[in-house]
Structure 1
Amino acid sequence: MPSVAVVILNWNGKAFLEKFLPSVCSSTYGNLDLYVADNASTDDSVAFVKAHYPQIKLIQNKYNNGFAGGYNAALKEVEADIYVLLNQDVEVAPGWIEPVIAQMQQDPNIAACQPKMRAYHDQERFEYAGAAGGWMDILGYTFCRGRILYTTEVDHGQYNDAQDIFWATGAALFIRSACFREVGGFDDDFFAHMEEVDLCWRLQRAGYRVMYCPESVVFHVGGGSLPQGNPRKLYLNFRNNLMMLWKNLHSEDRWIVLSQRFFLDLLAAVKSLAAGKPKDMMAIFRAYRDYYKWRRKYVKKDTLPEKKLLAISGVFHGIMIWRYYFLNRKKFSDLNK
């Protein structure tokens, strides 16, 4: 039975910890340690954990370096065969760990895996951040089985098959610690958003598999740190997506993809302005400005082999936003029709 460490990265999340730690502490897996990694919170989260959950190991980061830097720092202090990175705003169903570990044990080449993610406030519906596993299209737009853009599906069992995916959600990410270290962990430059997609892409470039396990279910509130519609969130998503593409695309594909993305993102900025959201438009422009600044000083951090995008699991061989907006394909199962 491999050792498992559930590590909850917390930032000013006392209310979430009060609500959701009981479900995590009820986990029945036999070889389990629980951690709260506090990311320099300014509320009384740390005092709450110390007073009410002495069985939970506490890691206190000196600074708030976001999701990526926070986990990189915290996991240096965690010894386990498999890390489970769990958001502070997630409730877990009974027996949520065992099926994922069983699936990963079937093939040592499975480096990462995610459970089925449903919405906490609408528990029959898939949740935005992970749904039934993450995919990406040929232009780098990310989506999920069960969630395309902001359209989420009701779970009728339509995605109850275990499947290779492109990326596993960072809100409930099972990952072999050896694989996490082998590919260099998260990229600190990302701070937050898209860092798990970048990590899973690097895992696939290294020859590993990323999978979805439908027998495990968790419920995610979402927007615990930055809610949907926040210009800061939009900025990070655009900037980090561009950084990820530059880092991971095969050199033969990089300029083709990024040149097309430039025009589509410009269209998104104009659309935001037309919709009366000038802050969103400026967030996209700032994302491009900072992406170009980052690119000028970028030094390649990994030595992983290049891999053509269409050779990677979980890549949709088309343009998702075209199918969604112009062909009215709102469900994952309809994309190829």
Structure 2
Amino acid sequence: MKNIKTVSVHIVTYNSADDITDCLIAVLAQDHPVEQIVVVDNASADGSAAKVSEFYRSIEEAPHTTPSTHLFKPKLILIENKANTGFAPAHNQAIAATDTDYVLVLNPDLVLAEDYVSRLVAQMENNPLIGSATGKLLLKADPSLVDSTGLRMNKARRAFDRGAGEPAADWMESGAVFGVSGAAALYSRRMIKDISVDGEFFDGDFFAYKEDVDVAWRAQLLGWQAYFDAEAIGYHERGWKTAGRSGKSMFIRRISYINRYKMIYKNEPSRTLPLTLIRALPYELAAHAYMLLKEPGLIKAWASFKAQRTELKRKRRYVQEKAACKRN
């Protein structure tokens, strides 16, 4: 067991009872030992937390069901929140509950190939500047298509999953990426500690959506690299994506909309802001014309930006000053 890097797997559940068992089975089957599994349940109404407990109890009672590749049985930490705190705050809870070398942030509707963790750990150990890594995430409903091969950001500061909906065969080359999707992201503890702001890795004010892009941008500003390994495979249900905008509540749409502007406010360096504003102007005009015509309710999202302006300003100052120190 000497020199084996420790890994914990962090899963946030919210009405995830249909998916969580398959997710946990795949975690237990990893050929790199997992030291801890942390499940944070955000007040699910479908018995998700009970299903996690039941599954783990069945493993305790029948040790022979544990995959033979497993070097030791991971400890389960189950945190049951009384209210839905959101994806970002819940994952911060999980991070605070562990001290492993690596943290795998994993969605409950994702199933990993057994060498997913070992491949990513190997890449990150080979290059200490890599602070985050992901594999090739495929659509569970059609594994010939890509769900995500990491994140990219365009000049208008809009972020996308690389390769989403494209043939998996077109994405065979591993390499550096802007960032990694929070659906199945391996983060080094060194990077987590380095880029956290007031002890928060994910910005808790984001609740959910674009918190992984915010982390990716902040990490890049502070000198960290992200990596995509085309041979590490995961299968993602990604139900919310196929439902389209009409399938999301106005609450969720407002969060997704305003978090982009919070992210830009915190992370865009002053020296690049004028050019970014020019590049983003055509998109902003078109998007806001559509919003005023079709989704005027989104405009209320700016109330949260205004309410958090002082905190956002403080976080921006911290990130930009630290980034300047890193450059110097």
The question of a shared fold, defined as TM-score above 0.5 by the shorter chain, is answered with yes
Instruction: Report deviation, 1:159.
Output: 2.2
Instruction: Report deviation, 1:204.
Output: 1.2
Aligned to 1:70: 90
Deviations 1:197-254 (A, max 9, x none): 1111111111111111111110111145995312444322221111101110111222
Aligned-partner Cα distance in 1 for 2:311–2:111: 40
Deviations 1:295-320 (A, max 9, x none): 36633223454769xx9xxxxxxxxx
One of 233, 239, 249 as aligned partner of 2:268? 249
Aligned-partner Cα distance in 2 for 1:22–1:224: 23
1:240-319 correspondence runs (5 A): 240-258=259-277, 261=280, 264-271=283-290, 278=294, 280-283=295-298, 285-295=299-309, 298-301=312-315, 302-305=318-321
Amino acid at match of 2:87: F
The alignment partner of 1:138 has SS state of coil
Aligned to 1:168: 180
Aligned-partner Cα distance in 1 for 2:252–2:239: 9
Over 3 Å counting, the alpha-carbon distance change for 1:179 and 1:122 in structure 2 is same
Aligned-partner Cα distance in 2 for 1:163–1:286: 40
Amino acid at match of 2:207: F
User: Is 2:40 the partner of 1:37?
Assistant: yes
Aligned to 2:191: 179
Instruction: Report deviation, 1:9.
Output: 0.9
Over 3 Å counting, the alpha-carbon distance change for 1:228 and 1:177 in structure 2 is farther
Instruction: Report deviation, 1:83.
Output: 0.2
Over 3 Å counting, the alpha-carbon distance change for 1:232 and 1:256 in structure 2 is farther
Q: What's the TM-score once normalised by structure 1's chain length? A: 0.79
Which one has the bigger helix percentage? Answer: 2
**2:132–2:185 CA contact under 8 A, matched in 1:** yes
Over 3 Å counting, the alpha-carbon distance change for 1:233 and 1:31 in structure 2 is closer
Aligned-partner Cα distance in 2 for 1:256–1:22: 48
Aligned-partner Cα distance in 2 for 1:222–1:232: 19
Q: What are the ranges of 5 or more consecutive residues in structure 2 without an aligned counterpart?
A: 58-74
Aligned-partner Cα distance in 1 for 2:291–2:312: 30
**2:145–2:167 CA contact under 8 A, matched in 1:** yes
Aligned to 1:198: 214
User: Is 2:159 the partner of 1:142?
Assistant: yes
Amino acid at match of 1:162: S
The alignment partner of 2:38 has SS state of strand
Q: What are the ranges of 5 or more consecutive residues in structure 1 without an aligned counterpart?
A: 312-337
User: Is 2:130 the partner of 1:113?
Assistant: no
Instruction: Report deviation, 1:289.
Output: 4.8
Aligned to 2:70: none
Q: Paired residues, what number?
A: 296
User: Is 2:56 the partner of 1:50?
Assistant: no
Over 3 Å counting, the alpha-carbon distance change for 1:64 and 1:233 in structure 2 is closer
Aligned to 2:18: 15
Aligned to 2:167: 154
**1:201–1:248 CA contact under 8 A, matched in 2:** yes
Aligned-partner Cα distance in 1 for 2:311–2:28: 44
**1:7–1:36 CA contact under 8 A, matched in 2:** yes
Aligned to 1:331: none
Aligned to 2:60: none
Identical residues among aligned pairs (%): 26
Amino acid at match of 1:154: P
Amino acid at match of 2:232: S
